[in-house]
Structure 1
Amino acid sequence: MRRLFLPTVTLILLLILQTTVTRADYCGEHKVPFGMEVHKNGNVNILCSRPNCHEKKYAECPERATSTSCSTNSSWVGGVTQHSDGGLRLMCCEYDLLPVYSTIQYQKLQIRRGEYFEGDEQMDGDTVISFDLIGDIEQIKEPDGNFSYNLLIYRYHCGNIPDTPPAWYMKKQWPYWDKEQ
């Protein structure tokens, strides 16, 4: 009995030690990432907002952050997951018309530990006419072992957003029943 107990305890301890700790930060279904902060301890947070023209935006986001890059010109970062080793995974939200309604504001805006970026909103009275959002985050390991991040920032122009959602958006909402059946 004693021999069986010791390997079981050892196995349980090994499983507990191998479990990776992760931190996740998501904008949610109705917000966009307008900023990012890197705390002095290396933890990453994204800052989210819902500009008043956002209700006309129709994006498709996955359930989890699994990508290392949101490399298409039709995606933005909808969330991040940071593992205990500092590795970053991104949730890439797709919006086919992003290249039509936005322009690149910053190609590689670098932020390091203890720094942050906060995008701009341009207003016309009480109405947002354009805002900045994070299109991609590139993680770079520095020689000292810390990470820095290059951000791709889009300036989104609200005035050109379509008033009705694309057909694919309506079909992906749950529950979806085909009205023609």
Structure 2
Amino acid sequence: MRNLIYLLLVTTATTVADYCNEHKVPFGMEVHKNGNVNILCSRPNCHEKKYAECPERATSTSCATNSSWVGGVTQHADGGLRLMCCEYDLLPTYSTIQYEKLTIRPGEYFEGDEQMEGDTVTAFDLIGNIEQISDPNGNYTYNLLIYRYHCGRIPDQPPAWYMKKQWPYWDEKK
């Protein structure tokens, strides 16, 4: 019986997950020397005006649209990375590309900047996409797409589509 339990533990695929979800944004990423990936999440003081929609799980290999950012990662035992892509239709309007392919290797990390005016965050960096690249030895490096998000451009009211996607939704005008 003990051998069966040991065999199950050894052969069971493990995954490591790290999520910001729609409540925070990914401002950094760390790749440990052993290859494990962590994303760093934050909620800048202007984030309460942001209206994003995130799926329940990280299932994509890329957040390739210009209206998405990485809301979470799942790393499988084989090293493969899956992304949770949070959608925000107005991201291209309120952000600019800061870095198109910022390379992170094992043992390295990236931490985004915040622009401040007094005690108020006026802009911050967030990870729009993570591209996983494998070398012939099976080691991974990662190219990050980094957006600079400009807080002063965010609307005070959520877009109409956002309100209709919230559950339960009641039309208060009736």
TM tier, smaller: over 0.9
Bigger radius of gyration among the two: 1
The residue that corresponds to 1:34 in the other structure is 27
Measured in 1, the distance between the counterparts of 2:55 and 2:104 equals 26
Segments of 5+ residues of structure 2 without an aligned counterpart are none
- Aligned residue pair count: 173
TM-score in terms of structure 2 length: 0.92
Match of 2:107 among 102, 114, 121: 114
2:161 to 168, 172, 176: 168
Q: CA deviation at 1:171?
A: 1.4
Shift in Å, 1:174: 2.0
- Confirm whether residue 84 of structure 1 aligns to residue 72 of structure 2: no
Aligned-pair distance for 1:28? 3.1
Ranges in structure 1 where 5+ consecutive residues have no aligned partner: 1-8
Counterpart for residue 150 of structure 2 = 157
| 125, 144, 147: which one aligns with 2:140 | 147
- CA distance in 2 between counterparts of 1:143 and 1:127 reads 46
CA distance in 1, matches of 2:64, 2:21: 20
CA deviation after TM superposition for structure 1 residue 98, in Å: 0.4
Partner residue in 2 for 1:55: 48
Letter of the 2:133 counterpart: I
% identity of equivalent residues: 83
Q: Deviations over 1:40-86 (max 9, x none)?
A: 11100000011111111100000000000000000000000000000
CA separation in 1, counterparts of 2:166 and 2:151? Answer: 24
1:98 aligns with 91
Q: CA RMSD in A?
A: 2.0
In the alignment, the residues of structure 1 paired with residue 33 and residue 137 of structure 2 have an alpha-carbon distance, to the nearest angstrom, of 14
User: Is 1:132 paired with 2:147?
Assistant: no
Deviations 1:80-124 (A, max 9, x none): 000000000000000000000100000000001000000000100
User: Match for 2:78: what amino acid?
Assistant: D
1:65 and 2:58 are equivalent in the alignment: yes
Q: Distance in 1 between matches of 2:137 and 2:8?
A: 30
